[in-house]
A and B are shown apart, each in its own frame.
Chain A
Amino acid sequence: MPTLIKRTGEGFTAAEDIFTDVADEDAIPNGPVILSMARFQAEGDALVTAGRSVGVRIQPDEAVEDLAYDLPRLALVGAVFPKFRDGRAFTTATLLRERLGYQGEVRAMGEVMRDQALFMVRCGFDSFAPVDGATPSDWAKAAGLFRHVYQRAADHRPPAFEERG
């Protein structure tokens, strides 16, 4: 089971990942699951109605807005970084938090590394499945490297212009 790092208030802790990330060609196992958007649209309703805990994995070319009406029923939304340098998931997370008002878990999936920790946290991600072996303390260090930030973001951290206020 890959390490999962979760944001808890201002800190970060290791957490057990209770979800199974289900590939489209695999059968849906018992317990909490993460499905692709297409799979969720086809089979999600039945699972949710049956009281299962279901999350959706959004690929960068999928529009997060398409999930708007399902959000209250989702246990988590995962936004995928197929490559470290594919930054579309930052927009996905920002829109989830700022426009769609999603309060549940937003998980960074794919090629997730500590060097993006600050950006991810700022865009509203609160759970991380790093591939670089980063520990919660590495994560906290990377996310906290900067004493100041310049712009507003989904983390609602006061930007420089408010600190100056």
Chain B
Amino acid sequence: MYQYDVIDHEFLADRAAQFRDQVARRLTGDITEDQFKPLRLMNGLYLQLHAYMLRVAVPYGSLNPTQMRAFAHIARTWDKGYGHFTTRQNIQFNWVKLGDAPDILDHLASVDLHAIQTSGNCIRNVTSDPYAGATAQEVDDPRVWSEVIRQWSTLHPEFSFLPRKFKIAVTAAETDRTAARAHDIGLRVLRNAEGALGFEVMVGGGQGRTPYLAPTIKPFLPAARLISYLEAVLRVYNRHGRRDNIYKARIKILVASLGAEEFARQVEEEWGKIGEGADLPDTELARIRGSFVKVPFETVAPRSEVFEAEQTSDRSFARFVRNNVKAHKQPGYAIVEISLKAPGATPGDASAEQMEAVADLAERYGLSDIRVTHEQNLVLPHVKLDDVPAVHRGLQSVGLATSNISLISDIIACPGLDYCALANARAIPVAQSIQDRFADPDRAEDVGELKIKISGCINACGHHHVGHIGVLGVDKKGEEFYQLSLGGSGAEDASLAAILGPALPADKVADAVDKLVETYLSMRTDGERFLDTFRRAGMAPFKEAVYADAH
């Protein structure tokens, strides 16, 4: 992990003190709620249906055990004993009191964490690949570049009051685990034909009521020119993004209305004027790279007898390995995913005890590294194969050994009407009804990779536009209905889902998903995922299956 130095520590302490003062001025009435709102939002504090919600940044989804224990402590002391990991690799506490928020931020600062820029119209917490530093697929470690962007964007004086929020994702692998094209800026680290390191720059993606996948506006940006180029993009957006209508204020609308080519031209022109003077010196790039402490891998055999034997003797472990254990670049190591989608659980929720258990396992077996994924799961990126059985047993003891990564029950769902003031419909109970339907793990494995994503309203926090099956809650004369869509993807084969047909009542959603799955199973050819079959066969057979009774 990146090691904070005294400058980073002092910065966080100053930030916590600033927020304490702002809260005090609000509590005494020196400032109005209207004036306070942008300030609290820049510290991740939202006013929700029942209480304040605090969103804490997990920079590029990377945590150490001490930080995870701090979350457990916050959950216990100032919340109801749990926290919610989000699709932006952050964590949210749903039941916070305004007066407690300064103490929480102090506690966070003591372990190098904060809530800076987790909301508000600024550059949000940067997201990245949860397998960074562990997967053999990557060209470079995307966390280095994420950290460069974190520092540059933190309290950026020119870009803290943008037309709208601004989200940047960095990936460096063939397999995109960041949904890069669904971001305001997606950066893919690559090497060009000459072997030089750089970025493919995608700008103008986003979900919400008008989803767009970001077009590539620069196929190759030399790595050393990253900051000046980002400044150019942000400046064009800050000046020309719409501010008259919040639904048209995201950069995606600017890019779409100018056209990607014209937008790219304006950025290029601005970039030319900015020049290299704005870029980070190579020495600082090297320092940041060096501040990621080298992971102390041991030299071990690529094959582990313990690991193999346990799979033969314990079927549940074998299932866990098939679904949750992924290839590591270091021989004899594995990436272990921890599903936060146990049957009946709220997707993304973890209790204080679970967080502590994960922290302990990471410390004992995982080289003290923990990641959060945008699919609302956790990852232990560096576990020796020999230790995977012990990790599995540890997870089992706290109800975290659900073996369903990327399967139909690994559902993303937003908070929906249970917590959210903007919701049209509940999302969590619908997720649970689908999980119940596919509770048989053999069947779920047979169905294979199938990503269901559920949002309680058109704001699309649950990413339904990029679900293989997307579910959107709509309000029909005061009743909760759900509109299904098919064929979306947030991965390297990104696409937006298309609407299946008329919305369905809550108790018909699981049935409909069942019919979609049966249709897929009846048509799939070898190795085809649901998404592939849909892309090959089109909407018609699926539509027919779901709405047949209505004819």
Give the CA-CA distance A115 to B32 in the complex, in Å. Answer: 13
Q: Is A91 a contact partner of B238 (Cβ separation < 8 A)?
A: yes
Give the CA-CA distance A88 to B281 in the complex, in Å. Answer: 28
Q: Chain B contacts of A88 at CB under 8 A? A: 238-239, 243
Q: Chain A contacts of B235 at CB under 8 A? A: 91
Give the CA-CA distance A29 to B532 in the complex, in Å. Answer: 73
Question: Is B94 close to A, CB under 8 A?
Answer: no
Q: Is A145 a contact partner of B18 (Cβ separation < 8 A)?
A: yes
Q: Is A147 a contact partner of B11 (Cβ separation < 8 A)?
A: yes
Chain B 1-45 interface 0/1 with A at a Cβ cutoff of 8 Å (1 = within) = 000010110110011011000100000000100010011000000
Q: Chain B contacts of A123 at CB under 8 A? A: 157-158
Tell me how many residues of B have a C-beta within 8 Å of chain A: 37
In this complex, the member of A118, A145, A151, A164 whose beta carbon has the largest number of chain B beta carbons within 10 angstroms is A151
Which positions 260-295 of chain B face chain A at CB distance < 8 Å? 273, 278, 280-281, 283-284, 287
Give the CA-CA distance A165 to B283 in the complex, in Å. Answer: 8
Give the CA-CA distance A91 to B7 in the complex, in Å. Answer: 27
Partner of A145, one of B17, B35, B157, B243: B17
Chain B 152-167 interface 0/1 with A at a Cβ cutoff of 8 Å (1 = within) = 1011111111100000
Give the CA-CA distance A165 to B5 in the complex, in Å. Answer: 13
- Supposing A84-B38, A87-B160 touch, asked if A145 and B22 sit within 8 A by C-beta, the answer is no
Which positions 82-133 of chain A face chain B at CB distance < 8 Å? 84-88, 90-91, 94, 99, 113, 115-116, 118-120, 122-123, 132
Q: Is B284 a contact partner of A161 (Cβ separation < 8 A)?
A: yes
Chain A 123-165 interface 0/1 with B at a Cβ cutoff of 8 Å (1 = within) = 1000000001000000000000111111111000000110111
Q: Is A151 a contact partner of B161 (Cβ separation < 8 A)?
A: no
Q: Is A90 a contact partner of B158 (Cβ separation < 8 A)?
A: yes
Chain A: which residue is nearest B279 at the CB level?
Answer: A152
Partner of B31, one of A119, A132, A151: A132
Q: Chain B contacts of A148 at CB under 8 A? A: 7, 10-11, 14
Give the CA-CA distance A118 to B39 in the complex, in Å. Answer: 13
Q: Chain A contacts of B157 at CB under 8 A? A: 90, 94, 118-120, 122-123, 151, 153
In this complex, the member of B10, B121, B156, B287 whose beta carbon has the largest number of chain A beta carbons within 10 angstroms is B156
Chain B: which residue is nearest A153 at the CB level?
Answer: B157
Question: Is B257 close to A, CB under 8 A?
Answer: no
Chain B: which residue is nearest A161 at the CB level?
Answer: B284
Q: Chain B contacts of A60 at CB under 8 A? A: 243
Q: Chain B contacts of A120 at CB under 8 A? A: 157
Q: Is A118 a contact partner of B155 (Cβ separation < 8 A)?
A: yes
Q: Is A86 a contact partner of B161 (Cβ separation < 8 A)?
A: yes
Question: Is B522 close to A, CB under 8 A?
Answer: no
Q: Chain A contacts of B278 at CB under 8 A? A: 152
Q: Chain B contacts of A147 at CB under 8 A? A: 10-11, 14
Partner of B287, one of A90, A91, A151, A161: A161
Partner of B158, one of A99, A132, A153: A153
- Supposing A115-B22, A146-B14 touch, asked if A161 and B280 sit within 8 A by C-beta, the answer is yes
Question: Is B313 close to A, CB under 8 A?
Answer: no
Give the CA-CA distance A99 to B5 in the complex, in Å. Answer: 33
- Mark A residues whose CB is within 8 Å of B: 60, 84-88, 90-91, 94, 99, 113, 115-116, 118-120, 122-123, 132, 145-153, 160-161, 163-165
A sample of 15 inter-chain contacts (CB < 8 A) reads A84-B161, A87-B162, A88-B239, A118-B155, A119-B155, A123-B157, A148-B7, A150-B152, A151-B154, A151-B157, A152-B278, A153-B157, A161-B287, A164-B7, A164-B287
Known contacts A146-B155, A151-B154; 18 further A-B pairs (Cβ under 8 A): A84-B161, A87-B238, A116-B161, A119-B160, A122-B157, A132-B31, A132-B35, A145-B14, A146-B15, A149-B155, A150-B152, A151-B156, A153-B158, A160-B11, A161-B280, A161-B284, A163-B7, A164-B284
